[in-house]
Amino acid sequence: MWNLIRRIRMRRKQAVLCLLAATLAFVLSAAMMSSLSFAQEPVLTVCWGVLMVWSLLVQLLLLAMLAKKP
């Protein structure tokens, strides 16, 4: 995992902006998931769920990268 983080060359300002974008995507997908019903729209619910998980993983990766940088 740390090798992946080292490979990503990003300035601190870019990393913070990406972290904010991932957080916004997470909040948006959580809001959409709360208004959807899996029984009525299963495909849309799964798509928003995938976006939610993906944005959470991106947030964790960026936080780890920001914690490692001086």
Tens of pLDDT, residue by residue over 33-44, are 888 787 888 898
pTM of this prediction exceeds 0.85? no
Domain assignment of residue 56, given as a range = 2-68
Pick 3 or 42 by higher pLDDT: 42
pLDDT tens-digit readout, 40-61: 888 988 888 898 898 988 888 8
Which of these, 31, 32, 25, 12, lies nearest to 56 by C-alpha position? 25
Per-residue pLDDT at 4 = 60
Sign of CA dihedral 42, 35, 62, 60: negative
What is the domain count for the chain? 1
